[in-house]
Amino acid sequence: MNDAATSASTSDGAAPPRTPGRFITFEGGEGAGKSSRVAELAERLRRRGYEVVVTREPGGSVGAEAVRHVLLGGAAEAFGPLAEALLFAAARADHVDQTIRPALARGAWVICDRFYDSTRVYQGATGDVSADRVALLEEIAVDDVRPDLTVLLDVPVEEGLRRAAARRGDAVADRFEIEDATVHERRRRAFLALARAEPRRFVVVDAATDPATVADAVWYGVCTRLGLAEKD
């Protein structure tokens, strides 16, 4: 449970009731199906009567969306991975303050398409920013707002890039998507290593199958980990 939703005390000093809000993040490589699965999960939870806030990174607040354009357009690339990591952290700090923390505090479920594990992988494991620096930026950006559950959609690199290219059509690929397949392969392995290191937070879903099967596997993972009944 997120501390932000539980740490305040009531005026009489008694601990407030535990709010039903939960924070779920989705991670994975390019074209893994994160946006699609996030939307489907949100719909399923709304049908159960939950308030659900869907958001994404980089972005999710006015300030962070402005930084998104700088990062994905490649304008910051020349300054190196550390500068990019600082920008991702600045965007994340605004996103947490303006969107995620308030939603959790009122008891909403927040589903975020990418969060700090993407920085650990893209700027850390494959960007050569040290783990210590990544951890420091993470601490500054999120404070106590950490995911209750992280769904890692695992898909072979070739399949993910194929899907991303098909969806993009004639549009230009972003600064990270255009990188070499070997870099994407290292990212896939780095995400899986994070999941192995934190098995209680992560659920790994095979995302190489058809959309309905992946969506059901995500739902099963969310229900079993967060204590929901699978069937209505």
Residue ranges binding ligand T5A (CB under 6 A): 28, 30-36, 57-58, 72, 88, 114, 118-119, 122-123, 163-164, 166-167, 174, 176-177, 207, 210-211, 214
DSSP conformation class of 59:
-
Q: How many CB atoms lie within 10 A of CB 106?
A: 11
Euclidean distance between CA atoms 124 and 186, whole angstroms: 11
> Closest distance between ligand T5A and the C-beta of residue 19, in Å?
26
Q: Is 31 exposed, middle or buried (0-12, 13-18, 19+ CB in 10 A)?
A: buried
**Least Å from the CB of residue 208 to ligand T5A:** 7
CB of 210 to ligand T5A, least distance (A): 6
In angstroms, rounded to a whole number, what is the distance separating the alpha carbons of residues 165 and 131? 31
Measured from the CB atom, the residue of 16 and 211 that comes closer to ligand T5A is 211
Q: Within 10 Å of residue 32's Cβ, how many Cβ atoms?
A: 27
Dihedral sign for Cα 18, 137, 123, 67, please.
Answer: positive
Q: Which is nearer to ligand T5A, 5 or 54 (CB)?
A: 54
Which residue lies nearer to ligand T5A by CB, 105 or 163?
Answer: 163
Minimal distance, residue 138 CB to ligand T5A, in Å: 10
Measured from the CB atom, the residue of 55 and 123 that comes closer to ligand T5A is 123
Q: Which is nearer to ligand T5A, 32 or 103 (CB)?
A: 32
CB 160, min distance to ligand T5A, A? 7
Task: Name the phi and psi angles at 160, rounded to 5.
Answer: -60, -45
Nearer to ligand T5A, 6 or 35 (CB): 35
- Least distance from ligand T5A to the Cβ atom of residue 10, Å: 35
Task: Name which of 202, 199, 168 is nearest 28 in CA terms.
Answer: 202
Q: Are 153 and 34 in contact (CB under 8 A)?
A: yes
